[in-house]
Structure formats: C-alpha cells, structure tokens
Structure 1
Amino acid sequence: MRTSTTVRGITVLSPTGALDHNSAAALESAITATGRLPCAVVDFSHVTFTDSTGINALLRANRSLQAAGGWLRLSSLPDHPLRTLEIVGVDQVIDIYPTLEAALRT
C-alpha cells in the first residue's frame, strides 16, 4: 500500500504495483477498515496489474461497504487494469472515475 488518507470523511487508498495474490488481502482489509462513514476510493494511478485475486478483493470490499450503507469507487485506472476490470464487468458493479477528484465528488 502506498498511502492511505482521509478526505472529507472518505478513505482514499493509493496502492502501487500489482494488485494480486500478494497484495489483495491487505488492500481489502484497508478498504473495509474505513472510519465512521463507510466510503472509500481506491486510486489506481500507480497500479500496473490486477488479477482475479485483486478483482475478488475489490468485489468483497464493495459488498462490505454497501452492507454498511457506504460505497466503494475506483479512480485513475491505467489502460491495462481498466481493460481487465471492464472485461470481467467490475465497472458494472463498482463505479469507476477518470480522476481522484471526480471520485471524491458527492
């Protein structure tokens, strides 16, 4: 995990490198450990790759936040990770924004 911050009560996570079997569990834990308002944005600007383990972690975290009355958004996806998420339909389940600023707008 590169960084984790809070902006207007929203947890912003900025992982780096690959979102795969080595890093997916840590990201999922960080997403679901949000504060009072169960809302999070994952800034993908430094993610180079994601596999099925990473995708499943995002989907589980999304379900967790929604069950708590919150949401998960993804932002700033480079072409390769974006294409992977679109192919498997994640973009139909989790909102994807072109920039972090857009994802933080409520």
Structure 2
Amino acid sequence: MPSERTQIRTSVTPRGITVVAPAGELDYNSAAALETAITAAGRLPCVVVDFSHVTFTDSSGITALLRANRNLQAAGGWLRLSSLPDSPLQAMEIVGVDHVIGIYPTLEAALRT
C-alpha cells in the first residue's frame, strides 16, 4: 500500500504507452505500489514514469524501478523516466540508474519513440 504521502496515478496514451505518475515520496512504504503500477502495463509493456511531482526517492524506490525495468524488458517492452526534480535525479545518477533506464527531461520527450 502506498504511503499516505504518496499517490500513484496511471493513464494510457492513444499509442498504448502507460504513464505512471507518482506524487510525494517514493520510499519503502510506496515502492511495492509503484512497481505494481509499472508492471501492470496494458497491451504494450512500455511505461513512462513521470516524476514531476515526486519529492524524494530512496533505495526502495530505485530498486522497484530496476525490477520493473527488468520485467518490462523481459516482456519485450521498456521503461523510461521523465521530469525528475534535482533530488531524485541526483539519487538516480549516483547509483547509475541513468545507465540502465532512459531519463528524459520532459514527459513529451519520453513519449517520443
């Protein structure tokens, strides 16, 4: 169950790409819900996580992203991250997530293929 401080919304673009939009903190309390939202992609296992409303990410959130990425790739899809604020972006870069998962400056850029 997500933290009371975290909300996760999902939508699907006309092209079938799932957009997962968490808001708040991605931590131990919300990591499982984030991973579930990502891996529950519809007909096309392609997902963009829009970080524009995320204020904090810890190792649990990063681990959930890496596991979800592995699962989507195994299903023939991909995971992209967009609109990361400075703090979550720095955390992703420090541990090298940006070498494994594509990080884009905007949601629109991440949705372009």
Q: In which range does the TM-score fall when normalised by the shorter chain?
A: over 0.9
1:9 aligns to 2:16 (yes or no): yes
Question: What are the equivalent positions in structure 2 for 1:54-69 lying under 5 Å apart?
Answer: 54-69=61-76
Q: What SS is found at the alignment partner of 1:17?
A: strand
| Number of residue pairs the alignment of both structures matches | 106
1:15 aligned counterpart, secondary structure: strand
- Over the aligned positions, Cα root-mean-square deviation in angstroms equals 0.6
1:18-60 Cα offsets, whole Å, 9 max, x none, are 1000111001001001011100000000000100100000000
Q: Does 1:77 align with 2:84?
A: yes
Normalised by the length of structure 2, the TM-score is 0.92
Deviation at 1:2, TM superposition (A): 3.7
TM-score by length of 1: 0.98
Asked whether 1:49 is paired with 2:56, we answer yes
Give the drift of 1:82: 0.1
Name stretches of at least 5 consecutive residues in structure 2 with no aligned partner. 1-6
Aligned to 2:33: 26
Q: Tell me how far 1:9 sits from its aligned partner.
A: 0.3
Work out which of the residue numbers 58, 75, 92 in structure 1 matches 2:99. Answer: 92
Instruction: Tell me the distance in 2 between the aligned counterparts of 1:28 and 1:40.
Output: 11
- Please list every run of 5 or more consecutive structure 1 residues that lacks an aligned counterpart in the other structure: none
Aligned partners of 2:46 and 2:79 also within 8 Å = yes
* Identity over aligned pairs, percent: 77
